[in-house]
Amino acid sequence: MRYALMIYTEAGYDEGLSEVERAAMLGEYAALFDDERCVGAARLQPAETATSVRVDGGRTLMTDGPFADTKEVLGGFCLLEADNLDEAIELAARIPAVRFGGTVEVRPVVQR
């Protein structure tokens, strides 16, 4: 089954890391994304670069940034193939952002 791992962090959560710590963290992400169960992954640009789109009464409305006013923002995602939810959670727990107060939302993907 496919699962989406959506990685939420506070902006700048990694700013206090040394270059060595940052390189180690990036290495952990690379190892996870190189795992054969990972079928796609990406880090997103900062939330300030986002544009939210809605349609109201037939009119397209756009606003800068994410709609939700929250400290945590979607910073990236991983799409993986796992045998079950427990396996997906095991991989989610290995994502470095969770050690720095972030959250990984694990959600099954609708199969087509």
Domain hosting 84: range is: 2-108
> How many C-beta neighbours within 10 Å does residue 89 have?
14
Cα→Cα distances 78→46, 61, 75, 98, Å: 17, 29, 11, 14
Supply the pTM of this predicted model.
Answer: 0.84
CATH of the domain at 55: 3.30.70.1060
- Domains held by the chain: number: 1
| Residue-level pLDDT at 69 | 63
| Residue-level pLDDT at 5 | 96
| Residue-level pLDDT at 85 | 96
Mean pLDDT, the chain cut into blocks of 10 residues (112 residues total): 94 87 93 94 89 93 76 90 96 93 95 85
> How many C-beta neighbours within 10 Å does residue 88 have?
24
